[in-house]
Amino acid sequence: MAKKEKTPNKKTNFSSYWLYGLIAVFFISMSLFNNSGVSNDQRINISTFERFLNDDEVERILVINKSLAQVTIKGDALQTSKHKKARSTDFLGRSNSGGPHYEFEVGNLEIFQTKLEEAKRNGIAFDYDFKTVENRWLDVMLSFLPLILIIGVWIFLMRRMSGGGASGGGQIFNIGKSKAKLFDEKSNVKITFKDVAGLEGAKEEVQEIVDFLKNPKKYTVLGGKIPKGALLVGPPGTGKTLLAKAVAGEAKVPFFSLSGSDFVEMFVGVGASRVRDLFKQAKDKSPAIIFIDEIDAIGRARGKNNMTGSNDERENTLNQLLTEMDGFGTDTNVIVLAATNRSDVLDKALMRAGRFDRQIYVDLPDLREREEIFKVHLRPLKVDTKLDTSFLAKQTPGFSGADIANVCNESALIAARKNKKKVNRQDFLDAVDRIIGGLEKKNKIITPSEKKTIAFHEAGHATVSWMLKHAAPLVKVTIVPRGQSLGAAWYLPEERQIVRTEQMLDEMCATLGGRAAEQIIFGKISTGALSDLVKVTRQARAMVTVYGLNDKIGNITYYDNNGQSEFGFTKPYSEETAKQIDEEISKIVEREYKRALSLLRKHKKKLSELAEHLLEKEVIFKDDLVSIFGKRPFEKEETVEEKVKTSPTKKAVKSA
């Protein structure tokens, strides 16, 4: 068995504030001990003192600073029971026999002195005297108090500005230092490549980089050179940062991790200084890996929108990064990993070979990869043994790895809410509905007329999608408010790599089915189709201007795939072409709307039947549509996959 590595002894941190506290306690103690006084139990009023004086029990009176009188009782009188507290021992065990035994506030000194003289004339034997006491320690402390306060405030501000002296991420003295977190073999990084499901191609390339750092001779003996960098590109939540964490866990070399925003600072030159410091640290610990997450924060293309010079600092940071990546030699064994979901806006100089030699695309997982991801995230959960991971994968088309992790966590929360011992299939289905559609809001106040409109709107979508070959068939419809919508429908999408014209047109027609149903049934339309209109307009514009699927515009695209358009503030087409584009977009949308109207008029009776059924039950499923419309004639052997299509009624209400 391998011996466990001994964890290094943690250094005890001694805060300077303890020192400040001890000094304060010292001064307070000196001031207290300088003030000789008696306890609170032995404080009396002037009338009590007069009674002691008239009883001839007072031996001596000492007036301090003309305000406080200290009274010493005669020895024989002190032994009486009424003076028991006055003769009691202090906390050190000493008996208070010599006094003073009592003290009180004098008040008017002249009147008090007159009373003492009168008692003397009456034959009462006692002594009295006046004394001025100076607390030198307190006076010295008070005299130096402003200076002490100034020094204390200065020390506090300097410590704050220097980041407390604990890390290189200070604000003044360490402002140019790198904020990168260092992970090495001693760090507690538990994520490995086993925890990264799917992403086989990306893992293979990253593993090769790790292997290069571990065994460089394996590659250099053949004349190969270490790659300068690798860029992880992909949509949010696909596992780019997780892949980098796995590299940190697998690589037995120093791993510097930081975000692109860590270079950004309000002071000029700070970003470039931090880049220099980062690469200096990496070179000192080479072989090493540098990981920059969200590199688009500093790697955007230079020269764009730089009319006021506002992004000079960011450009300086980028220039320094370019210099460092191209400047260090091949023998330093430092590799830069970066992640972004905005590769289209990155500078061309950053993307060239010799800097980021490899671009690793991390795409959304397919069916097989989703199943593997589910297996990883189901490990910590107590799930039903009958749960089928392939079924769960089919339920979540288009989900990223982060979405799947969220589904698993949400299903566990739902099961716990229902006091279940294990998470079952229905909990996962509820979790998918919760994440995609939002939380059900059954207590939301909706008028009967609005509810009827929503029912026919959703029934219109369901009817048209059921009748069209390439539209996604319905799985579930609800008119219970959910999330930001007043109704929602789940459909069965087909996972396609390419989309044909007829498929896009059928989807647009099904999307417009809700507004078309309102027009046919009520003879008027509402604002409820807002998001439907946004969706179809975006699709129609993409057909005309991006995919070249319009006969009149032709096989032309105006899509800038690198995000570094040379057109500036002008459109890449003339005003005449812009007018044609608008006309063609309008024609496509209106044609599909008329098509939806025609289909719904043809099946108006069944549409009404479906809407009434929806009003009655509030939630209907695929079986209800089969009982009303019959089976789809072009239906294939379909697996049950769900994708939400939210009704825009809620958004329409907000915009109305």
| pLDDT of res. 568 | 47
575-602 and 513-522 helices cross at what angle (nearest 10)? 60
Dihedral of alpha carbons 290, 296, 301, 307, sign: negative
User: Could you give the angle at which helices 448-467 and 622-629 cross, rounded to 10 degrees?
Assistant: 70
Q: How far apart are CA 17 and CA 408, in angstroms?
A: 47
| Residue 334 φ/ψ, nearest 5 degrees | -115, 125
Query: Which pLDDT score, from 0 to 100, does residue 32 have?
Result: 52
CB neighbourhood size of 124 (10 A): 15
Neighbouring CB atoms inside 10 A of 379's CB total 9
3-state secondary structure 506-547: HHHHHHCHHHHHHHHHHCCCCHHHHHHHHHHHHHHHHHHHCC
**What amino acid is encoded at 489 in this protein?**
A
| Phi, psi at 326, each rounded to 5° | -95, -10
Specify the pLDDT at position 402: 87
The backbone torsions φ and ψ at residue 409, rounded to the nearest 5 degrees and listed phi first, read -65, -45
What are 564-569's contacts with CB under 8 Å, separation 24+?
Answer: 564/301, 564/304, 564/344, 564/345, 564/348
Residue 27 pLDDT: 61
DSSP code of 171? Answer: S
The whole-model pTM stands at: 0.62
Distance, in Å, from the CA atom of 344 to the CA atom of 341, rounded to the nearest integer, reads 9
Q: Which pLDDT value is given to residue 180?
A: 63
pLDDT of residue 268: 67
Residue 540: the pLDDT is: 92
pLDDT the model gives residue 45: 85
Backbone angles phi, psi at 58, to 5 degrees: -90, 130
Q: Is 458 a catalytic residue?
A: yes
Of 641, 619, 607, nearest to 489 (Cα)? 619
pLDDT of residue 538: 92
Reference 585, options 557, 644, 545; nearest CA is: 545
What's the pLDDT at 587? 92
User: Which pairs with CB-CB distance under 8 Å and at least 24 residues apart come from 300-306?
Assistant: 300/345, 300/346, 300/347, 301/345, 301/346, 301/347, 301/348, 301/563, 301/564, 302/347, 304/564
Using the structure block, give the residue that is written with the tokens 């044909």: 500
Q: What is the DSSP letter of 440?
A: B
Residues of the chain with pLDDT under 70: 1-21, 24-41, 87-94, 134-142, 159-189, 265-269, 303-311, 327-332, 437, 439-445, 481-487, 492-493, 495, 560-570, 633-656
3-class secondary-structure state, position 420: coil
Among 528, 445, 508, 433, which Cα is nearest to 478's? Answer: 433
Structure tokens at 580: 């044609």
Task: Say if residues 205 and 190 touch (Cβ distance below 8 Å).
Answer: no
Exactly one of 315, 458, 584, 641 is catalytic; which is it? 458
Bridge partner residues of 380 (DSSP): none
Question: What was the pLDDT predicted at 31?
Answer: 53
